[in-house]
Amino acid sequence: MNAHLVNSSRRDAVAAGVKAACLVAVLAGSAAVAQLEDVRFSAHEFAAATAPDTAVAALPAGAVERTEPGTPQAIAGEPLRIVFRLTRPASVTALVLDADDLVIRQLLRDSPRPVGTNTLAWDAKDDDGLTVPDEAYRVVLRATVAGATTPAEYDPGLNWQPQEVPVGALACDPATDTVRFELQAMARVRLRAGRRGGALAATLLDWAPRLAGTHTLSWDGRDASGVRWDLSAADFAILGEATSLPENTVVTRGNPIHPLAYWSARAARLGVSLPELRLALVRGSVDGKATPGAAASRDGAVVPGSSYLLARAPEFTLALAAGAKTDEDGTPIVAGELALRLQLSEIGQTLLRNRRYEVVFFVDGALVSEDETGYTPYTWAFDTRGLANGRHVLTVNLATLDGQVGSASIAVRVAN
């Protein structure tokens, strides 16, 4: 079933038409059958009622995403409504899970609910009352009849396998500084821009959840370092990939903080390590609490198999030694041998901990050299005497073995 954006004024009408298959469980030792029926949401994308005080932008410098004109907007400033029907009185547990099956919010826990239609609300906040990162979430419902131990369960993620989703009509328009693409189904999307056979310039979307439809990014060609690339160059390209999401996935808007920064802050508030928190919040425990020492640190790994957190481009900076002279445009003037320092951000260090990666060097987008054993901090020694005098862009890509690539660049003016 295709998910869709809805207008707040149409939410009641749309809610009646957005249904999911029922999951029916025969209760052990009882002839009673618990049924969760007519599960539906008021929207599949909605904005948080209030924005966070601080946020780390998820898009590169100069990039802004917008909805196509004429496309219905997501519900803004209103809670998501979750409607379901019970055929028998039951105790209901309702959980909001992230893509790693970790409990974000416990809406109900063994709460008695009557026969008939029941309605819950989620305001895009976690159990600590903080707005969750812009991401994809799903709602799991469990209903247990009195005297029984086996619940009926609705979980769109059970027995679900991701499928490739074509990224259609992908086009970059240098005249308007826009990138457009189409999706036939809700999906996680990765858009990467750069030189064919050369440097990756920027990751525009990093496996970000998006609904079916036409999407437009306004991007002026600047990468995360602020260096502008020529979108009209014949060898410049935008590549798109997408994988499907379970039906009735809910996408939130309103907090573009990096998910890893969110989870790190949440662990710090509880006084536990990040691995301890995430291993304590696995779907099986569902108590929403983390206990110090409850889980091993796993040698500092975030969590085993955590593709949703780890499938991110590593973040780092690229800098020249201090004191370099600049021209009238503020571009550093260099000559002879350079020493460029690569430094991973705190998030980048966490992403690459215990993972192998290589460092790849480019000049004006063309490959110069690579080091298959990456480490940080890293110093790139480069002799500019092989370059013509004038402006050049030096780019470094950090690439993991599983295909995640981060990029940073610096523009220099060579004056040998």
How high is the pLDDT of residue 193?
94
For residue 318, what are the β-bridge partners? 342
Q: Highest mean pLDDT range out of 23-27, 168-172, 290-294?
A: 168-172
295: Cβ–Cβ under 8 A, 6 or more apart, which residues?
Answer: 275, 276, 279, 280
* Confidence bin at 75 (pLDDT 50/70/90): low
The reported pLDDT for the residue numbered 273 is 76
- Listed residue (255, 253, 200, 252) closest to 229, CA to CA: 200
Put the strands of the sheet holding 80-86 in their side by side order.
Answer: 24-26, 33-41, 80-86, 116-122
| Confidence bin at 40 (pLDDT 50/70/90) | confident
| Per-residue confidence band for 359, with pLDDT thresholds at 50, 70 and 90 | very high
pLDDT, average across residues 311-323: 82
Band of pLDDT at residue 307, cut at 50, 70 and 90: low
Per-residue pLDDT tens for 129-187?
Answer: 888 888 899 899 999 888 777 788 888 888 888 899 999 999 998 888 899 999 999 99
Whether residue 41 contacts residue 248, with contact meaning beta carbons closer than 8 Å, is answered with yes
- Determine the average pLDDT of the residues in 347-360: 80
> Tens digit of pLDDT for each residue in 171-200?
998 888 899 999 999 999 999 999 999 999
Res. 291: pLDDT tops 60: no
Q: Quick check: 30 pLDDT over 50?
A: no
Full set of structural domains in the chain with CATH: 168-244 (2.60.40), 258-310 (no CATH), 316-414 (2.60.40.10)
Separation of alpha carbons 73 and 182, rounded Å = 16
Lowest mean pLDDT among 32-36, 63-67, 203-207, 260-264: 63-67
Q: What is the mean pLDDT of the chain?
A: 76
Whether 347 has a pLDDT exceeding 50, the answer reads yes
Give the Cα separation of 183 and 164 in Å (integer).
Answer: 11
pLDDT for residue 53:
36
Predicted confidence (pLDDT) per residue in 211-220, tens digit: 898 999 889 8
pLDDT number for residue 190: 93
Q: Which of 13-17, 18-22, 74-78 has the highest mean pLDDT?
A: 74-78
pLDDT per residue over 244-272, tens digit each?
998 888 888 878 888 878 888 888 887 87
Please identify which residue in the block is written with the tokens 């419902």.
141
More confident residue, 314 or 75: 314
Residue 64 has pLDDT above 60, yes or no: no
pLDDT tops 50 at residue 323: yes
